[in-house]
Each structure stands twice: as structure tokens, then as C-alpha cells.
Amino acid sequence: MKLSFPSKGLHKGLPNEEQPTATSPSLQNVRAHDVDEERRGGQRAGLKKAYTTQVGGEHPVIGMITIATTYIPPEA
């Protein structure tokens, strides 16, 4: 059975056999498109702040980047 992502959202009121294409009778914390990853399906944004602490103290955050490093142990 092939299942498609419910990009048309939530639809209640019909039996499973009559469910409209690309809908679901039950959805939680999901949005049709992930704005960060540019793909189908993404996590719903939170309703409140995850942390109360200000990042950077009194200084505002100007920009954020990702830094990835690889550790290569020295040869013995």
C-alpha cells in the first residue's frame, strides 16, 4: 500500500475508505512544508519559548553559523 504525505491537512468526518486524497483523519504537531529544509512535512513551530535565558547575555545575537570539525588523533 502506498501512502502519500497528507499535504492537504486534516479532514475529519468520513470513514477511512472515503478519506480524501492527501488528507489525514489525525495529525499532531505537523505542517505541510518544512520551511528550513524546503521539503514536504515539517514540525509545527512551538507555542512558547523553550528557554528563558537570553543567548549572549545582554548582547543581541547578530548571526548564527554551523561549525563542524573532525578530530584526527596524532600518530603515535
Question: Which three cell numbers, joined as nine digits, stand for 2?
Answer: 502506498
Cβ count within 10 A of residue 6 = 21
State the pLDDT at residue 14: 86
User: pLDDT tens digits, the chain, 76 residues: what are they?
Assistant: 777 778 787 888 888 888 888 888 887 777 766 656 666 676 666 677 777 777 777 777 778 788 788 888 888 6
Contact 22, 6 (CB under 8 A): yes
Contact 8, 41 (CB under 8 A): no
What's this model's pTM, rounded to 2 decimal places? 0.43
